[in-house]
């Protein structure tokens, strides 16, 4: 048999069998102001990062990595001073 099963027929529970709405469910719900969806989450940044590929000498890379976690951010800060 080809074609998709009609999901709407059997997948919705009876109203009496539906789960209680919890605070967690409400926190995950979409929020609208009129017709406009209110976006949640992290706000857009003014200067977003872009992924690039760069070839560096092995010893340079090892020195930066040896400075510990955050070495890529420190490298970007140093490059932005140029």
Q: What is the pLDDT of residues 3-52, one digit of tens each?
A: 565 555 566 667 777 788 899 888 888 888 888 888 777 888 888 999 99
CA 39 to chain centre: 13
Is 0.85 topped by the overall pTM?
A: no
Helix (H/G/I), strand (E/B), else coil: 23: helix
The confidence score (pLDDT) of residue 30 equals 84
**DSSP label at residue 11:** S
Strand partners, 51: none
The first and second tokens of residue 1, run together, are 């048999």
**DSSP label at residue 73:** H
Q: Does any domain span residue 58?
A: yes
Q: Does any domain span residue 1?
A: no
Full residue range of the structural domain in which residue 57 is found: 12-43+50-80
The confidence score (pLDDT) of residue 4 equals 60
The first and second tokens of residue 73, run together, are 């951010």
Q: Does any domain span residue 20?
A: yes
């Amino acid at each position: 048999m080809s074609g998709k099963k009609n999901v709407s027929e059997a997948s919705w529970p009876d109203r009496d069998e539906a789960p209680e709405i919890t605070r967690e469910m409400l926190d995950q719900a979409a929020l609208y102001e009129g017709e406009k969806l209110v976006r949640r989450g992290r706000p857009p940044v003014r200067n977003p990062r872009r992924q690039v590929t760069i070839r560096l000498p092995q010893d340079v890379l090892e020195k930066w990595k040896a400075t510990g976690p955050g070495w890529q951010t420190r490298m970007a800060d140093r490059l932005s001073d140029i």
